[in-house]
Amino acid sequence: MGRKYQIISGDGHVETPPESWIRYLPEEFRPYAPQLVHLREGGEAWLIEGQRLVPNGQNITGPGPIKIKGGSYFKEDGSPAEGAGDGAQRLREQDKDGIDAEVLFPPIFASRLIDSISDKVAYAALIRAYNTFLARDYCAVAPDRLIGNAVIPVTGIDDALAELEFVAAEGLRTISFHQFPNGSGFAAPEDDAFWKRSLELGIKLSPHFGFGQMSPTLDFVGIGTSGDPFAATLAQRISGIPPVFTMSQLIVAGVFDRFPEIEFYFAETNASWLPWALFVLDDNYEIFRGPFDRKLARLPSEYILDHCWFGIIRDPRAISMRDHLPFDRLMFGSDFPHSVGSYPNTRNFLDDAFEGAPESCWRQMLLENPARYYGLDLDADITETPV
């Protein structure tokens, strides 16, 4: 009998030097590509148009120790550091950490930080280059164990839809995005075309933390000046917790009403805040729906519990609070190779976190939930790690 899934991490990160994916960038756009520069004091930093020099550090912690600056993608002999190699190396690192598969989010250098590039055609080409590398090189080694999250550009609905079609054709099953599909921080009617097409293609929506503006801008107490003021009002008292304002916007924009099958997985949000947040969203709705003359078809908490999933990293309290949480919608992530991760001691971390919990809880969070969301077959033999 072959190897089966035992532990699936719902949140890891691809960290890679730029040449691994820049090679898919057409020559005319090469001058806009991020550059990795070696620092005099050690380690590297990213040089990206419109950004200050961004040093490697917490993003490439691997087994530690944590560095704020001076982190490197390379060992002293020039070989890739842990967490900075190719897909085959990543499989060996999964084995070392005691896990069997990961949902892999993009590095910030290939997603959020390149938003500042002035030539937006070059920016879209960079996104395409990264997604091509992810599908054809990195995850192709073992698509059942390396579940790559493609990046969606933030240059408007047409570019977002085009990239959605591309990554689906390349065989990737999930996407990460940090703005609404219209390219702004706020929900808009044109987003519906993207939500509709993602459902038709079977592509999973997996934003990291949240997407859009993370908290409302307030003119005076309780009234938001950006987006829908009612969304800002629902989120007051808890708007500092990602992804509360994102979910509030989706609710009041009617996304869950128009697309009853749509779901979002918010990675690395943790979950022990959820009971309080769900209460406050419902409480704010009851308090303010009259003054705003707004009526929802359901309570905010009901929308969230039916349409949203959440990822925990270092939140063992969520496991002890399992009777007060939607445990059937939680996933665990090792966050490797980032600084708050558990690598290479994930199994020990989980043993401690699940102490006293029934085995069914372990199976639910670490196997059944990610398998259900991402369509993984728990009975299938998974790809063996190459020697």
Position 222 scores a pLDDT of 54
The answer to whether residue 187 is domain-embedded is yes
Q: How far apart are the first and last CA of the chain?
A: 19
The answer to whether residue 41 is domain-embedded is no
Give the mean model confidence (pLDDT) for residues 337-356.
96
The answer to whether residue 55 is domain-embedded is no
Q: Indicate the pLDDT class of residue 226, thresholds 50, 70 and 90.
A: low
Give the mean model confidence (pLDDT) for residues 294-323.
97
CA distance 300 to 247: 9
Label residue 94 exposed, middle or buried (CB < 10 Å: 0-12, 13-18, 19+): buried
Position 70 scores a pLDDT of 95
Of 23-32, 93-102, 199-208, 224-233, where does mean pLDDT reach its minimum? 224-233
Tally of CB atoms within 10 A around 43:
18
3 state SS for 229-241: HHHHHHHCCCCCC
**Number of structural domains the chain divides into:** 1
The tens digit of pLDDT for each residue in 377-386 reads 999 999 999 9
Position 221 scores a pLDDT of 52
Residue 38: beta bridge partners?
Answer: 44
Are the CB atoms for 192 and 225 separated by under 8 Å? no
Residue 84: beta bridge partners?
Answer: none
The answer to whether residue 120 is domain-embedded is yes
> Above pLDDT 70, what percent of the chain?
98
Position 220 scores a pLDDT of 54
| Average pLDDT of the chain to the nearest whole number | 95
Position 223 scores a pLDDT of 56
> Which helix (H) or strand (E) is 196 found in, with range?
helix 191-201
CA distance 178 to 205: 11
Position 227 scores a pLDDT of 80
Nearest to 207 by CA among 160, 157, 263: 263
Q: Indicate the pLDDT class of residue 284, thresholds 50, 70 and 90.
A: very high
pTM for this entry? 0.96
Q: Is beta strand 330-332 parallel, antiparallel or unpaired with respect to 308-312?
A: parallel
Q: What is the CATH number of the domain that holds 172?
A: 3.20.20.140
Summary count for the chain: helices (H), strands (E): 14, 13
What 8-state DSSP symbol labels residue 208? B
- Residue 97: which residues within 8 A CB-CB, separation 6 or more? 334, 336, 342, 343, 344, 345, 346, 347
Are the CB atoms for 374 and 147 separated by under 8 Å? yes
In terms of residue numbers, what domain contains 224?
Answer: 8-16+84-374
| DSSP string computed for 121-150 | HHHHHHHHHHHHHIIIIIGGG-TTTEEEEE
The answer to whether residue 59 is domain-embedded is no
Position 109 scores a pLDDT of 84
CA distance 197 to 1: 39
Give the mean model confidence (pLDDT) for residues 167-183.
98
C-alpha dist (Å) from residue 224 to 190, 255, 290? 22, 20, 17
Position 110 scores a pLDDT of 84
The tens digit of pLDDT for each residue in 138-147 reads 999 999 999 9
Give the mean model confidence (pLDDT) for residues 241-264.
96
Nearest to 229 by CA among 157, 284, 308, 306: 284
Residue 102: beta bridge partners?
Answer: 9, 146
- Answer whether residue 111 shows pLDDT above 60: yes
Give the mean model confidence (pLDDT) for residues 161-181.
98
The answer to whether residue 174 is domain-embedded is yes
The answer to whether residue 116 is domain-embedded is yes
CA distance 243 to 227: 15
369, two tokens: 């939930």
Nearest to 265 by CA among 105, 87, 378, 91: 105
- Answer whether residue 254 shows pLDDT above 70: yes
The answer to whether residue 204 is domain-embedded is yes
Q: Indicate the pLDDT class of residue 219, thresholds 50, 70 and 90.
A: low
Give the mean model confidence (pLDDT) for residues 173-188.
97
Position 168 scores a pLDDT of 98
- Answer whether residue 224 shows pLDDT above 70: no
The tens digit of pLDDT for each residue in 50-63 reads 999 999 999 999 99
